Amino acid sequence: MVKLNDISIRNKLILMQVFTSVIVFGIVFGVFIITDVNSYKQRKVDSMISLAKVLGTNSISSIQFQDPEAARVMLEELRTVSPEIVHAEITNKEGQVFASYSKPGTNTFAIPAVLHGKHYAFTDQQLFVSNPIVSNKEVIGTVYLEVQLTELQQIIQYKYELAFILLLVALVFSFLIAVLVQGYLSTRLLKLVNAVIKIRKTGEITKAVEDKGRDEIATLIQAFNKMMEEIEESQKKKDEFIGIASHELKTPLTSIKGYVEMLDMMEQEQPKKQFVQKTLGNINKLERLVKDLLDVSKIQSGQLQLEMKEFDMDELLNETMNASQMVSETHKIIRKGALLNEMVYGDRQRIEQVLLNLLSNAIKYSPGENTVIVETEKTEKELIIKIRDYGIGVAPEEQTNIFERFYRSNTVAVHISGFGLGLYICRDIINRHYGRIWVESNGKGSVFNFSLPLKHSPSIQQT
C-alpha cells in the first residue's frame, strides 16, 4: 500500500483532480440514469394503466351479456396495438377467467404473486398491471396485463454504456488538464526543492531561485532567497572575521613566543624555568589553534597555496612519527608494513601537517591505550597511509560529518578540546593533492586513511 505522503506533489495533484472528477461524473451519471429509468417506468405504468382502463370499460357489456368471444376479439387487437404486451386477461368478479390473450409463442399467463393487492408491479423483465372493471360503482371484473420490458433493458444498457464511455472521456480530459495545470504549482515547488537539496549537498549558496508568480509559492521562494542571502552574508562576515582575527592574533603571538623562547634559554633557576616552559607549551597550543583558524580562512578564501616538490615519503613518516612520539608520554607509535621507497610530488609541509594532525587525534581519542599504529600500502596508482588507534571509534552516522568544518562529535563522552577544524583542513589538503581521505571504524578504535597518487599519475602531471 502506497502512503499518500510518499507520492510526489505533482502526482498528488493529478490524482486529486482525476479522482474528484471521476466521483463527480459518477454521481451525475448515476443520478441521470436512475431518474431516466424511473421516469421511463412511470410513463410505462401510466400508459399501461390507461390501456387497462380502456380495455376494462370496453368489456363491461361483454361481461354483462356473457359474451367472452367479444372480449377476446377486443384483446386480440393488442397484437397490433401494443406488441410489448405478452399477456392480457379479463376475469369476472369471482376471479374466474372471462377472456384472455397471449402473444403467439409465449407461455400461458398466471397472475403473479408480486401483483397481489397492487395496481402494478415490476419484475426484472416484466411489468404487471391490474385494473378493476367498474360498472355503476360495482366491480364486475379485473383486467390484467403483462408487459415485456425489453425496451427498458435496452435503454438501461445503452445508458450504462454511454455513461461509461463519457466517464472514460472525462477521465482522459481531467488527466490531461491535471497534467497541464499541476505544472503551475509543482514545477515551481520542485525548483525550490531541488535548490534546497543542492545547497544541502554541496553547501554552496549559488544563486537565487527564479520565480515570477505572486502567490504563496512565490512568497515562499522569495523568503527562501532572502534567507539564503542572509546566510551567505553572515557566512562571509564570519569568514572575514576568522581571517582577520586569526591574522591579528598571530602577529603578537609570534612576538610573545619569540620572547618566551629567549626567556627559556636564559632562565635556569627553578621554579622560574618550569613556569616559563609551561607558558611556552600553552603558547604552542595557542599557536596551533590560531594556525588552524588561519588555514581555514585561507581555504575559504581560496588563498591556500601548495608548494609542490618531490619528497621521500618514508623520510617524512619517520620525522613526523618521531615528533609525535616526543610530545606523547602515554602512547607508543609503531610503524608497520614495508618501506615505501617512493618519491611523492606534493607540499611536504602540508602532508606533514595532515600526518601530525591524524597522529595527535589518534592519541587524543584513545585515552587509556598505549599504541598507535602507522601502516603503509602501495598500489599501482597510489600510496595509502593508515593511522590506527584502539580508542573510542567513530559512530557510523558521524563518519562523513567529522570532516566538516567546526564539527564536534556528539556521541563522544570524553571532553576533548579543539575547534573541530583539524580534519576539515586535512581533507582540503588531501583533496588538493588529488587523494582521498576516509575513516573506518567498527566500534573498537578507528582507522584514518588517506591516499596520495604517485608522481607518475597523469592528474598530478597536469598541475
Partner 1 sequence: MNLLFKRFLLVVLAGSFTGNISAQNAQQEANLKAAFIYNFTKYIDWGPYDRDSIFVIGVVGDSPIIESLNAIAASSRINNKRIITKSISNPSEISNCDIVFISKKCRMPLNYILSKTRPGELTISEQPGFAEAGTAFNFVVVNNRLKFEANLKAISSAGLKAGSQLLKLAIIVDKY
Q: Confirm or reject binding of residue 61 to partner 1 (CB under 8 A).
A: yes
55 C-beta neighbours (distance < 10 Å), count: 24
Distance CA 329, CA 331 (A): 6
| Region near partner 1 per CB under 8 A, out of 133-141, 236-244, 418-426, 437-445 | 133-141
User: Mask 76-115, x = binds partner 1 (CB under 8 A)?
Assistant: ----------------x-x-x-------------------
* Cis bond before residue 396 (omega within 30° of 0): no
Does 462 engage in binding with partner 1 (CB under 8 A)? no
Nearer to partner 1 by Cβ, of 35 and 64: the residue is 64
Q: For partner 1, give the closer residue by CB, 25 or 98.
A: 98
According to the binding rule CB under 8 A, does residue 135 interact with partner 1? yes
**137 interacts with partner 1 by CB under 8 A:** no
Distances (CA, A) of 343 to 236, 320, 339, 381, 458: 39, 17, 12, 13, 15
Under rule CB under 8 A, how many of the chain's residues touch partner 1?
15
Cβ-contact 283, 254 below 8 angstroms:
no
Q: Looking at beta carbons only, is 64 or 106 nearer to partner 1?
A: 64
Q: Any idea which residue has 395496481 for its cell?
A: 119
Q: Would you give the binding string for partner 1 spanning residues 7-46, x where CB under 8 A is met?
A: ----------------------------------------
Task: Note whether 132 binds partner 1 by CB under 8 A.
Answer: no
Nearer to partner 1, 58 or 360 (CB): 58
- The owner of cell 618501506 is 339
User: In terms of CB distance, is 73 or 168 closer to partner 1?
Assistant: 73
Indicate the residue among 70 and 208 with the shorter CB distance to partner 1. Answer: 70
Q: How far is the CB of 134 from partner 1 (least distance, A)?
A: 13
Question: x/- binding map, residues 64-83, to partner 1, per CB under 8 A?
Answer: xxxx--x-------------
- For residue 75, the SS3 value is helix
To the nearest whole angstrom, how small is the minimum distance from the Cβ of residue 87 to partner 1?
21
| Residues 6+ away with beta carbon under 8 Å from 26 | 167
Residue 414 backbone phi and psi in degrees, to 5: -70, 145
Considering just the CA atoms, what is the radius of gyration of the chain in Å?
49
In angstroms, what is the minimal distance from the CB of 86 to partner 1? 26
Determine the interface stretch with partner 1 among 63-71, 122-130, 178-186, 406-414 (rule: CB under 8 A): 63-71
Q: How far apart are CA 310 and CA 345, in angstroms?
A: 4
C-alpha cell at 78: 393488442
Can you tell me whether residue 419 is helix, strand or coil? coil
- DSSP E strands in 301-456: the ranges are 309-312, 332-336, 343-346, 371-378, 382-389, 437-441, 446-453
Q: Which three cell numbers stand for residue 90?
A: 379479463
| Site stretch for partner 1 (CB under 8 A), options 15-23, 131-139, 248-256, 395-403 | 131-139
Sequence-separated (6 or more) residues with CB below 8 Å from residue 270: none
Determine how many CB atoms are found less than 10 A away from the CB of residue 113: 7
136 lies in the binding site for partner 1 (CB under 8 A): yes
Phi/psi of residue 258, nearest 5 degrees: -55, -50
Least distance from partner 1 to the Cβ atom of residue 96, Å: 7
134 binds partner 1 (CB under 8 A): no
CB-wise, 92 or 371, nearer to partner 1?
A: 92
CB of 92 or CB of 409, closer to partner 1 = 92
Buried b (16+ CB within 10 A) or exposed e, 380-403: eebbbbbbbbbbbbbeeebeeebb
List of residues contacting partner 1 (CB under 8 A):
58, 60-62, 64-67, 70, 92, 94, 96, 135-136, 138
